[in-house]
Structure 1
Amino acid sequence: MTPFVFNTAASIQFGAGKIAELGQMARATMGRRVMLVSDPGLVELGMVAQAVEILESAGLDVVVFPDVQADPPEAIIHSAVEMARLGKVEGIIGLGGGSSLDVAKLVAVLALGKETLAEIYGVGNVKGPRLPLILVPTTSGTGSEVTMVSIVTTGASEKMGVVSPVILPDVAVLDPELTYGLPPHITAATGIDAMVHAIEAYASVSPNNNPISRNLACEALRLMGGALERAVQDGDDRDARADILLGSMIAGQAFANSPVAAVHALAYPIGGHYKVPHGLSNALVLPHVLRFNAVTAPTPYAEIAPFVFPEMAGMGTQAAAAAFAEEMQDLSKRCGLQQGLREVGIERDALPMLARDAMNQTRLLVNNPREVDEAAALQIYEAAY
């Protein structure tokens, strides 16, 4: 068996109502003065105030950074770090979607003043240490609570990643009740995003693709394939909400160790230039990347197809891979997501620019089962238009 490394969060706390235990968890892992990193939407919904009350009831002093933006720019990271340093905080808690959790990870490292953001971009460049870290997702998509990746928008549209096991949290807290209020469109986009994580982790040609990640990817697809439409149609379906939150986390564990590939590489320029949410960007290009890859590498898609669509069991390899691409597109459509790049305001003459930008995502493209050059990227964008 090929050697591999598998890293994940030190502790995972899953269950409805788990948020009520946040204060106890924080007291057990960090000092008295903590920083809560979140976003304006959760402030408006009252979830930040709820978390602050829970933390203060446990005797903690709380500094709140409420200004995280989607696809956070470097300026947001610097502002949060400055607040943490001025507040002399002894632990960081991230509450929200992937952007809030990604910012919290970086603040935990940078608040100590031993490293700069510019120094830690890339793979394995975080030296540490970091402040104690707890991550609490409120969406079921990114899996950021168990990944060693943090994505930052640099400049106008370019994205760069910080990849290191140092930024895995001490505790990931998954409470399905925090996701009950998610609107159908966000539920759908984040759910497809999580499924992409599992699909790409399973098919990745990374040298670190491993049996643990592959098995987790299959279980994540089984959970989400049976629950996503139910959660979209009925946001209060508790079983469905629990399944997609758990599936999202398991998919995060999978791709954190067997990294994603061309779907993400082609999605990043869409989000960077047009501010399309990351999950929707993935959904827009997914079926077209699957079709492209299946020409030369159908086997992984044929293997995972029955976990999402049980009726595909027993189909031939090429047929199953082709059907999987079609059914994933149909699932996206049934969940109410836009189906073409034109539907999110992208002009056809912008496609060559997107293809050029996608070539900058070499960290991801090397994991794809079929080589994607600029011409192939343009071909995929054309198909997705």
Structure 2
Amino acid sequence: MSAFTFNTTPSVVFGPGSIARIGEIAAARLGARVALVTDAGLVKAGLVTPALQALEAAGLAVDVFDGVVADPPEAVVHAAVAQARGFGADGVIGFGGGSSIDVAKLVALLAKGGEDLSAVYGVGIAKGPRLPLVAVPTTAGTGSEVTPISIVTTGSHEKKGVVSPLIIPDVALLDPDLTLGLPPHVTAATGIDAMVHAIEAYTSLSPNNNPVSRALAAEALRLLGRNIERAVHHGDDREARGAMLIGSMLAGQAFANSPVAAVHALAYPIGGHFGVPHGLSNALVLPHVMRFNASACEPLYAELAPHAFPALEGRATGAAFADALAELSARLGLQPRLRDVGIPQDAVPMMAEDAMRQTRLLVNNPRPVALEDARAIYEAAW
């Protein structure tokens, strides 16, 4: 067994209604002045209100930044950091989807340590220190509440990552009630995103791929695969919502330590250039990347597939696994092809070139991806 390192969020709080505990958690962990990072939609929907009430009841001063948008650009990060510094924040809460939590991670890092955002892109570059950080996910998808990764969209539509154990949150608070109102399409896309995390972590070529990550990935895929349709089509089912949240978190723990690969590398240009949500971007290329990878990791796909699709037990192949995932996406109502989300075929060469710049991801892919391979995958997905 090879040596490995496994890092994750030290404390996980789970349960329906657990947002009521945010006051006591913040008072113990974050200090007297709390910067809460979220988006305007969640504020308008009233989801943030119980958190604010609990924080204020605990005697904490709270400043809300609600300017987060999907695939947050650098300008949003700079604005959130400046607001937190101006407020004199002692701690940070990321409340929302992966974008809000990703921005909160960088607020905690940059508001305290004074580093420049442009200087911390990459793996292990950030030096810190950072402010204490609590993450409260309202989607079951990114697993950002337990990962050392924050993704930012640069001015050139390219996505860059800050990757460092420093930005792993101190507490993840998972309340299924916060996800009950999530629309079906968002539930589906974020759920497939979490499944991608599990699949890519399990098959990653990373030298840090390890038994802990693989065990978590398998359990994540079991929870996600067996609950996603219920969560999408019966959104008020707390059991399904809770299973999705835990599955997403476990997948996050897995890929935080055994990093993702070509699915994400090819998804980033789709979101960066055409504004397609990240989970849907992953879903659009997932089966095609898996068919490309099958010759290199057929036994691993055969092991993993029955966790999500019990009917594949004893007859799982890479192709069958990819087909089952494509069929699942269709049942969930996700668009199946790049053309269906408005991407022109003549964008394929540009997207392929951009995908090849995601070297920190492509190095983990079970099969080497050349430029012509990326083009062929996009063509198949178009």
* TM-score, normalization by structure 1: 0.98
Task: Give the CA deviation at 1:156.
Answer: 3.2
Q: Could you tell me which residue of structure 1 aligns to residue 16 of structure 2? A: 16
Instruction: Note the 1:343-358 alignment, pairs <5 A.
Output: 343-358=340-355
Instruction: Note the 1:244-263 alignment, pairs <5 A.
Output: 244-263=244-263
Q: Could you tell me which residue of structure 2 aligns to residue 339 of structure 1? A: 336
Residue deviations 1:323-349 (CA, integer Å, cap 9, x gap): 001000000000000000000000001
Query: After alignment, is 303-312 or 266-275 more displaced?
Result: 303-312
Q: Could you tell me which residue of structure 2 aligns to residue 371 of structure 1? A: 368
Residue deviations 1:217-270 (CA, integer Å, cap 9, x gap): 000000011100011110011111111110000000000000000000000000
Residue type of the alignment partner of 1:256: A
Structure 1 distance, partners of 2:296, 2:92, is 45
Task: Give the CA deviation at 1:295.
Answer: 2.4
SS at match of 1:68: coil
Q: Could you tell me which residue of structure 1 aligns to residue 56 of structure 2? A: 56
Structure 2 distance, partners of 1:156, 1:63, is 31
Q: Could you tell me which residue of structure 1 aligns to residue 378 of structure 2? A: 381
Task: Give the CA deviation at 1:113.
Answer: 4.3
SS at match of 1:369: coil
Task: Give the CA deviation at 1:280.
Answer: 0.1
CA contact (8 A) 2:73 2:153 kept: yes
Structure 2 distance, partners of 1:160, 1:237, is 36
Residue type of the alignment partner of 1:204: S
Task: Give the CA deviation at 1:311.
Answer: 1.6
Task: Give the CA deviation at 1:114.
Answer: 2.9
SS at match of 1:7: coil
SS at match of 1:112: helix
Residue type of the alignment partner of 1:351: V
Instruction: Note the 1:206-355 alignment, pairs <5 A.
Output: 206-315=206-315, 320-355=317-352
Task: Give the CA deviation at 1:53.
Answer: 1.3
Structure 1 distance, partners of 2:61, 2:133, is 16
Q: Aligned-residue CA RMSD in angstroms?
A: 0.8
Residue type of the alignment partner of 1:340: R
Q: Could you tell me which residue of structure 1 aligns to residue 93 of structure 2? A: 93
SS at match of 2:161: strand
Structure 2 distance, partners of 1:297, 1:50, is 46
Residue deviations 1:145-164 (CA, integer Å, cap 9, x gap): 00000000011310100000
Runs of 4+ in structure 1 over 6 Å off:
none
* TM-score, normalization by structure 2: 0.99
Structure 1 distance, partners of 2:318, 2:371, is 24
2:74 paired with 1:74: yes
Q: Could you tell me which residue of structure 1 aligns to residue 200 of structure 2? A: 200
CA contact (8 A) 2:112 2:128 kept: no
Residue type of the alignment partner of 2:343: I
CA contact (8 A) 2:43 2:49 kept: yes
SS at match of 1:152: strand
5+ unaligned residues in a row in structure 2: which ranges? none
CA contact (8 A) 2:113 2:128 kept: no
2:118 paired with 1:118: yes
Task: Give the CA deviation at 1:279.
Answer: 0.1
Residue type of the alignment partner of 2:31: G
Residue type of the alignment partner of 1:42: L
Structure 2 distance, partners of 1:51, 1:296, is 47
CA contact (8 A) 2:270 2:281 kept: yes
Instruction: Note the 1:123-202 alignment, pairs <5 A.
Output: 123-202=123-202
Structure 2 distance, partners of 1:76, 1:28, is 28
Task: Give the CA deviation at 1:86.
Answer: 0.6
Structure 1 distance, partners of 2:84, 2:232, is 37
SS at match of 1:337: coil
SS at match of 1:139: coil
SS at match of 2:64: strand
Structure 1 distance, partners of 2:250, 2:357, is 28
SS at match of 1:115: coil
Structure 2 distance, partners of 1:345, 1:357, is 18
Structure 2 distance, partners of 1:166, 1:57, is 30
Structure 2 distance, partners of 1:155, 1:282, is 22
Task: Give the CA deviation at 1:50.
Answer: 2.4
Task: Give the CA deviation at 1:42.
Answer: 0.2
Residue type of the alignment partner of 2:42: L
5+ unaligned residues in a row in structure 1: which ranges? none
SS at match of 1:360: coil
CA contact (8 A) 2:113 2:129 kept: no
Residue deviations 1:76-113 (CA, integer Å, cap 9, x gap): 11101110111001000000000000000000010024
Structure 2 distance, partners of 1:242, 1:113, is 35
Task: Give the CA deviation at 1:297.
Answer: 2.3
Structure 2 distance, partners of 1:278, 1:30, is 30
Structure 2 distance, partners of 1:225, 1:297, is 20
Residue type of the alignment partner of 1:346: I
CA contact (8 A) 2:231 2:240 kept: yes
